[in-house]
Amino acid sequence: MSFWYPCREPLVLASRSPRRHDILRNAGIPHTVHPPEVDEDNTAGDPSALVTRHAALKAASVAPLFPDRPVLGADTIVFMDGATMGKPASGQEAADMLGRLSGRWHDVWGGVSIVWAAKGIEITFSERTSVLFRELDRLEIEAYVGSGEPLDKAGAYGIQELGSLLVSRVEGCYFNVMGLPVARAMMLFREALGASPGKPGAGA
């Protein structure tokens, strides 16, 4: 339990993402990982609605297994030119995505859902961060694709790794681009527990 995580029950992270695990660990949020079994439908549409729906599905699939603990589900997509850019299926698709991102702004949308069944807590929100890529030439794109890093990431890059070399500017929450807007998530969680400065939450 801490000021930022005002309850004794560890969080359950309903995600396979090692980056979300790292964000929570580095922020000192006690948690365990239980990947959800959810089919994500990355169809065209409103990006905010898409990520919040996916996050809620992930949390809802795991929450019944841990009714006495808060469960967090999250989703992240890259959105540009009215279309969602998911995880590339091949090196060529990754190269094509990076070519489209080169020298341009795009939006990263994150969705978060926190469910604590025993306390009747349900929190769902979306976060948008805008990212500007440098102009990338063919050799740089090939080198990045050759590293293997783009293949398991939405939009074919990870801002916290080699992908940091591709980014010129970020407007909004950096950790949202990594996979979890942790500051806002914990602020809303504290508010739902009734915590205030110097006062533990209802789960303490």
Structure token digits, residue 31 = 């948690």
Active-site residue (options: 22, 46, 68, 75): 75
The span from the CA of 202 to the CA of 69, in Å, is 13
Q: Is 75 a catalytic residue?
A: yes
* CB 41, CB 60: distance < 8 Å: no
C-beta pairs of 164-171 under 8 Å, 24+ apart in sequence: 166/98, 166/101, 166/133, 166/134, 166/136, 166/140, 167/131, 167/132, 167/133, 167/134, 168/132, 168/133, 168/134, 169/131, 169/132, 170/129, 170/130, 170/131, 170/132, 171/129, 171/130, 171/131
Bridge partners of 56, per DSSP, are none
* CB 47, CB 109: distance < 8 Å: yes
Residues with active-site annotation: 75
